Structure formats: structure tokens, C-alpha cells
Amino acid sequence: MRYLRIITIILLLSPAAFAQDENEPRDQRRVSDLPQVSGDIKVDGNLDDVLWQQALHIALDYETRPGENISPPVKTDAYLMQNGSQLLVAFRAHDPEPDAIRAYLRDRDSAYNDDFVGIVLDTFNDERRAFEFFANPLGAQMDLIQDDVNGREDDSWDAIWSSAGRITDQGYTVEMAIPLSQLRFSRSEQDQLWGIDTIRFYPRTDRHRLSNNPLDRGVNCYLCQLEKIRGFSGIEPVRDLEIVPTLTGIRADSTDDPGVTPLVSGDIETELGLTARWGITPDLTLNLALNPDFSQVEADVAQLDVNNQFALFFPEKRPFFLEGADFFNSPIRAVFTRTIADPKVGLKLTGKHDKHTFGVFAADDEITNLLFPGAFGSDATTLDQSSQSLVGRYRRDFGDSSTVGAMFTGRSGDGYHNYVGGVDGRFRFKGTESIRFQYLRSDTQYPDSIVNDFDQPAGSFDGSALQVQYNHDSRNWFWYLSHRDFDPDFRADLGFVRRVNYDQQVAGLGRVWHGAEDDWWNRFRISGDWDITHDNLGRVIERELEGSVNLEGPMQSFIELGRMERQRLFNDVLFDEERWSFYGEFQPRGGLFFGLSASTGDSIDFANTQLGEETRWESDVRWNINKHLLMRWRNTTVKLDSLQGPNIFEAKLNDLRLTWQFNVRSFLRLVLQSQDVDRNQDQHVDTVDSKSRSLGSQLLYSYKVNPQTVLFVGYSDNQIENDDIARFTTTGRTLFIKLGYAWFPN
């Protein structure tokens, strides 16, 4: 009942929120007519095609960051037109020092630190969701989804489009051809209005953001501030069917007893798969996958899994699940598609019509991954049995910026089921205020083996989860209040909820100062929050007070200093912790980035239920040695000492990646990942290895005509060393190849 009371209060407040939205002036922004031309252009980075003389010209007259709607330091011109099947975009980016342009050959979605230009398209003009297309001066592509409802920008989405760039004596030029079949928009015989932002990032001492739109920092939405273009009457995509057959070959060598039994050579296995994308209408898309290759090609970024309570999160990378992934976003991560590990068939339908947005997908998985959340930690296992999954999501837009929605997820198998359903919403009003909430209820039953092995409830059991947050975001001040309440028996097996059996209240406050045009610094912020968490028995399991100050300045630098005091309950002992933290990053020149995170102070040793003194530092170095060669090295080192003096453990993690980019379509990458953990056995209650080491390597060649027409060839292996294995011993070795071809029948 307490959940229903809170939701009722929110819904009673919502009419005021909607009224505020409706009364705001929405028709004062400039509207420009988009020309329709006949013919195509050659996308080569030269703006010498005569068709460009008919294009709409847009000047990027504002610097919105770090300056606040001031005159930009360089001149930029954008040109737009459409030919019935493509949106054609060009940029002429002037630069008084062409030699200072930062441009490297990059793989897709990797050029964010370079100079680049691009366009943001709110194709439904609903000021909630937009497509983003960017390219650096060499044509390297970046494409993203801007989700203004959930405040997320996601580059995992990949479209098929063309781009090219050229560096000239006056700066650089970029051309883009974006097929309308890659976009979603309303079908209409009349002219349509689309929100538009043309953007240039000009990174030098500062990273200047230039745009045709001034941005009001006192308004907590982005897409609601964009100018409009008018056109596209009667336009429908002409290439609305995409079929991608794939061929995957793999040979895996393994051993059941490393150090004793040598590797056994595996058989060469081949598998044919098929995925298809059908744009049924401009605003309705169907995706089908039959016997697909759902494996991801590139190794995840390594994470250190030592002295952790909860499961680690790794992002989704598989194309079928990335298509329309933002349709399933919600405040609680109730959908996490990496849970679906080995499906043989998948079907997805996503669409938007007027104020209605919806998505549904189903999959038949060969195995069943399970995550068991708790108040003090989580556990996981895999059932060697198939399961069927179904996810549905619906959202209704209100006013200019508010939404309400509903969600259902279900998964079932032999002696197992998990069903989750609920409602959510976001109400935005006054330009600075917003309220978000989500309520979910689950019904779960596990097989007897899971009940016994992982101490889970027997029979069918249910639970609820509630999350509510109020935010104030203005130019100089921000504050927030949040409440979370997760029952002990709540489960979201198709999501990523790793903690339950708690209720938490958080209150935060912050102040921002913006540097003037002639100041050496750009932005200064001070903030803090207080939170308290109880379990279902009413015990305080966490009470925390933390604060931080940060500063943005020259060489694109960012520095933050933080302090935290916390009480935390573990294994019926309430520990007092105090910690200091530091984070800093800067780019002394183009192609070189340094980042460092460090913290020191008290930390719980979860393996032995004692308080220790922890020192942690993480470093990140990205160095473009030349236009083709990129080196990235990430290191994490954690040392935990007993308060009595002796070392409890020291762990080091290294992730090194060397990439030779032949051109924007192909690269060769070497990945080396190592983890070293040394433990003081005298400081551990349970028997542990005094040393534990692992080393993994991967060599990957990639050639991409587009995100679907691809060739991958790779090799990987893994080695371990511990007290029983005196030297590094190979535990597995894999050779693989993958071919995919995107075919457009019409």
C-alpha cells in the first residue's frame, strides 16, 4: 500500500506538470525550409557538386561550451538538402591553423576526442529522442541515439550511411549521405517539422562546442531548444528491407585440468545465420534473427573482481539487441539483454506513432543465466536448460516533455519462471523541475536445485520495487531527492538488478559557477549528498555523507577532489569508513589523453569481515602515436592492509590495446589483459591461494564495409598461474572467423 500512496501523489501532481508544459511557448524558434533536389552526390569530401548550390545554408553562430552562447572562435557553415531517399549534409569547417586539426583514422564510434562535425535530428519532433550523425575530418563515423527522457546518449546503435572528409588549406570539409531508410519518422503527405542541431567540436586548449542553436543552461532539456527544418512531404524510405546472412567458423581448444591435462584440440564448427530488418512503415520496424551469431567479437574491457560484493556490469555489443535498445530503457534496469546468452531465434518489433512508443521482443535461449541479488551481495549461475523470453514496453507522451509507460518481462523454462510488470513515468515542468518514478512487481519460481544450492525461496514467490526521484536543474543550482525500495523477494531475471532487500533515501545539493570568456578556468562545481539505507528488518545497513569539488580548465582538464564518511553493515558488524578520492584528466596535445583516479581510506575486507585500509588507483592513457597507430593502456591497482599492519591482498589489472587502423574500414588490434592477485594467507579466514595470475591475449582483424557487411578474423588464448600451477599454463585457445553481408533486395 505504501507504493500505491506514493504513485497516487505523483499522478495527482502530474496535471500541473502537463499544464506547465502546454503553456510554454513552443513556436518562437526559427523554422527553415529544406530543399528537395533531383540526383545524387559523390560522397568524397569535396563540396564541388553543383547540387550544393541549392542546399539550405546554416551558420554555426554560437559557442555553447565552454562559452555560454558567445561568438565562436572559428567559422563553420553547414548545408542540408534531401533527394527523396537520402538526407544530404555537408560542412565547411574553417580553421586558421589547419596543421592543428586533430584527426586520426578511427574505427566507428571512436573519434570523440578529434575535431568533428555532425547533425542531430529529432525526426518525430517530439523533443524526446533524436538520431545523431558525426564524422571527423577523415570521414570516421560516429552515430548515436539521444534519449532526452532518460538523459542518455548511446553510441551502441549503428546505422548504414556514407561520409567522407578532407583537410584543406582553409580547414576541412565533410560530406554525409544518410539514407532515410535508416531513420524513423512519421508518415505524412504534408510537410514535416524536424528538430535539428548542427554541431562542430573544436578541441584545442579548450573543447569548444559550436552550434546553430543557443542553449539555455537554466532549462533541463536539450531537444526542446532546437530549431526546426520543414520538408519531406510524402517521403517514405525506398530501401526498407535489409537481409544479413552470416557465416561463423570457430575452433576452440580447451582442458578440464590445467597444468595436468594438456589442451585438447576442438573440432572446427561452422554455423550459418540470418538476420533481417524490415521497415514496415517509416515508424514501425521488424527485426528477425534465425540461428544468429549472437557472440560478440571483441573482448570486454577488463574489470577487477576482487573484494567485490556485487556482480560486474558489461555493456551489450550484439547488433540484434542494439537495434531500438533505447525503446526499453527505464529508471530501473529491468531489461539487460546480455542475460539472453545463446538464443537460436529472436524477433523484435519497435515503433512510434504520434504520442505512442512501443517495443516488444521474444527469444528462445539455449541456456538460462540467473542473477541472485541480496542486500549485502549477489551471486550468479547458469542453468543448462532452455528458456523462452518475452519483453514488452509501452510509453505515452504528454505535454511537451512528460511521459508515462508500462513494461512487462517474462522468462520461463522447466520448473522455472520470472514475470515482471509495472508502470513508470517522467514529469518535466517549469523548465528546471522533473519527477521520475517506476514501480515493478515480480513473480518467480526456481527449480529445486537452485533453491537448495543458492538458498532461494521455495515455490512461487513475489516482490516489488519502487524508485522515485525529484530533480531541480537550473543554471547555477541543482538538488535532488530520491527514494528506492526493493523487497527481498523481488527478481528481474531479464534485467540487471543486483541488490534487493533495502530501502534508501538520498538528498543532494550542488552549486555551479561558470567562467567568463577571459577566465583561465571554465567551470567550478561543489556538491554533496546524504543517504541512509535500511534492510527489511529496519537495520541501518548504510549511512553516508559525501561531498566533492571539481574544476574544468586548460588542456581540456578536469580535476575533482572528494571526501566520504560512511557507516556500513556487513555480516552483522557496523563498520565506520572514511575515504578521500581524487580524479584528474587532461589532454596536453592532440591524440594524447591522461586520466588518473585515486582513493585512500577505510574499506571493508568482505572475505574476512574486518576493516582495512585501502589504496586504489586507476590510470588511463590513450596515445595516437601516429595517424594509424593507437595505444590504450588501462591499469587498476588495489592494496588492502589490515589496521594491525600486515597486507591482506594486493591486486593489479592491466588492459593494453594496440590498434593499427589501415583506413576507416579496417584495423588490426592486439589486446593483452593481465590480472595479478597476491594474498596474505595468514590474514584470511578461509584457505586461499597466495598468488593468482591470469593472462589473456587476442589478435583481431576487422574489415567493415558497413556495420553489417563485415569480416572478422581472430585468435585468442588464456593462461593462468596459482599455487597449484607453478608457471603460466594455457587453459584455452580459440580461432574464429565471421562473415556478414548486408543485402538490400529493393
The answer on pLDDT for 228 being more than 90 is yes
The answer on pLDDT for 223 being more than 70 is yes
Query: All domains of the chain, ordered by start, with CATH?
Result: 34-231 (2.60.40.1190)
Residues 525 and 510 sit within 8 Å (Cβ to Cβ): yes
pLDDT of residue 297: 65
d(CA 22, CA 32) in angstroms, rounded, equals: 24
Query: What percent of the chain stands above pLDDT 90?
Result: 78
**Which DSSP string corresponds to 268-296?**
EEEEEEEEEEEEEETTEEEEEEES-----
Residues 603 and 574 sit within 8 Å (Cβ to Cβ): no
SS3 content of the chain, % helix, strand, coil (to 5): 10, 55, 35
Residues 6+ apart with CB under 8 A from 145: 129, 130, 131, 132, 153, 154, 157, 326
pLDDT-derived band at 746 (thresholds 50, 70, 90) equals low
What is the average per-residue pLDDT within 224-249? 85
What is the average per-residue pLDDT within 721-733? 92
pLDDT of residue 16: 43
The answer on pLDDT for 340 being more than 60 is yes
CB atoms within 10 A of CB 75: 17
Number of residues assigned to the chain: 746
What is the average per-residue pLDDT within 222-230? 96
HEC-encoded secondary structure of 4-25: HHHHHHHHHHHHHHHHHHHHCC
pLDDT of residue 17: 42
Span 416-429, pLDDT tens digits = 999 999 999 999 98
pLDDT of residue 334: 96
What is the average per-residue pLDDT within 381-409? 94
Residues 567 and 577 sit within 8 Å (Cβ to Cβ): yes
Burial profile 436-469: b = 16 or more Cβ within 10 angstroms, e = fewer: bbbbbbbbbbbbeebeeeeebeeeebebbbbbbb
Helices assigned H by DSSP within 352-458: 448-453
Grid coordinates given for 486:
526493493
- What pTM was estimated for this model as a whole? 0.90
Residues 136 and 16 sit within 8 Å (Cβ to Cβ): no
Residues 330 and 495 sit within 8 Å (Cβ to Cβ): no
What is the average per-residue pLDDT within 213-236? 91
pLDDT of residue 291: 79
pLDDT of residue 238: 56
What is the average per-residue pLDDT within 617-639? 97
Q: C-alpha angle with apex 204: 562 to 587, nearest 5 degrees?
A: 40
Span 432-488, pLDDT tens digits = 999 999 999 999 999 999 999 999 999 999 999 999 999 999 999 999 999 999 999
pLDDT-derived band at 296 (thresholds 50, 70, 90) equals low
Span 655-664, pLDDT tens digits = 999 999 999 9
Q: C-alpha angle with apex 257: 252 to 263, nearest 5 degrees?
A: 35
What is the average per-residue pLDDT within 224-234? 92
Question: Which of 294, 330, 344 has the alpha carbon at shortest distance from 495?
Answer: 330
Residues 543 and 552 sit within 8 Å (Cβ to Cβ): no
Task: Compute the mean pLDDT over every residue in the chain, rounded to the nearest whole number.
Answer: 92
Q: What does the CA dihedral 17, 22, 25, 31 come to, rounded to 10 degrees?
A: 120
Span 72-98, pLDDT tens digits = 999 999 999 999 999 999 999 999 999
d(CA 133, CA 112) in angstroms, rounded, equals: 12
Span 2-41, pLDDT tens digits = 544 555 544 444 444 444 443 344 446 789 999 999 999 9
pLDDT of residue 151: 83
pLDDT of residue 25: 45
Question: Among 142-146, 408-412, 741-745, whose mean pLDDT is lowest?
Answer: 741-745
Span 250-274, pLDDT tens digits = 999 999 888 888 899 999 999 898 9
Give the C-alpha distances (Å, rounded to integers) separating 303 from 308, 404, 655, 733: 11, 36, 9, 21
Residue 320 host element (H or E): helix 319-322
The answer on pLDDT for 394 being more than 80 is yes
